[in-house]
Structure 1
Amino acid sequence: MQDLDELYASILKRKQAPKAGSYTDYLFDKGLDKILKKVGEESTEVIVAAKNPKRDELIYETADLLYHLTVLLVEKQVSMDDIKAELAKREGLLSKTQDRPEIKDL
């Protein structure tokens, strides 16, 4: 079982020591455009899964999205600590989008 820090470390290790034939290496070999395409695809799949009643599908697609987002973070040299620090800065702050209209139809 991996938490996000372990996943990040695993993907970083794979980038530093490629293993021929692995999917992670494939993504790094194809580069940023391929990684971004996968993040976009997985984001859409999470949205679709969230609209469906099956909880398992949402869990599965979210895991895919988190994996691909983590590949992107490693590629762009953004650490989980960077993300945690950003989230910590936001804790307790009021939303800057309070007057934003509600989105009713997706």
Structure 2
Amino acid sequence: MLNDLYEEIKKRKEQPKEGSYTNYLFEKGLDKILKKVGEETTEVIIASKNNNQELVNEVADLTYHLLVLLAEKNVSLSSVQAELERREGKLSTTRDRKEIDEL
């Protein structure tokens, strides 16, 4: 599903469709896309305090906008998948991470 969505987003970038929200984002450029990613991230946080359906909806929105960002930056979804696979099975402990207060 994510691959299909990513391919459709790339197609819209290459072959704009009038009235498309995806094309609107590409036309406005990186700053607009980043603003939407930030907004959707905030909405995921808020939805996490509410109900699960709202959380699902907001995660879907964030995922879409992240895919638009990847397409804008010409980063393949397969490169993200490869990075996740590279990390698979690696142990991480709390000592490997900064405290949240330190960020």
For normalisation by structure 2, the TM-score amounts to: 0.90
Matched, 1:75 2:75: no
Unpaired runs of 5+ residues, structure 1, are: none
Superposition deviation, residue 101 in structure 1: 6.3
Alignment correspondent of 1:47: 45
Aligned residue pairs, count: 100
Unpaired runs of 5+ residues, structure 2, are: none
**Could you give the per-residue CA deviations for residues 44-97 of structure 1, whole angstroms, max 9, x where no partner exists?**
000110111x111001111100000000000011111101110111011122x5
Superposition deviation, residue 98 in structure 1: 2.0
> Which of the residues 73, 94, 98 maps onto 1:98?
94
Change in 2 beyond 3 A, CA 1:47/1:17: same
**Could you give the per-residue CA deviations for residues 16-51 of structure 1, whole angstroms, max 9, x where no partner exists?**
000111100100000000000000000000011011
Change in 2 beyond 3 A, CA 1:101/1:12: closer
Task: Tell me, in whole angstroms, the C-alpha distance in 2 between the residues paired with 1:32 and 1:25.
Answer: 12
Alignment of 1:11-90 (within 5 A): 11-52=9-50, 54-90=51-87
Residue identity opposite 1:72 in structure 2: L
Task: Tell me, in whole angstroms, the C-alpha distance in 2 between the residues paired with 1:28 and 1:101.
Answer: 35
Task: Tell me, in whole angstroms, the C-alpha distance in 1 between the residues paired with 2:83 and 2:100.
Answer: 26
Residue identity opposite 1:16 in structure 2: E
Q: Percent identity?
A: 64
SS in 2 for 1:94: coil
Greater helix content: 2
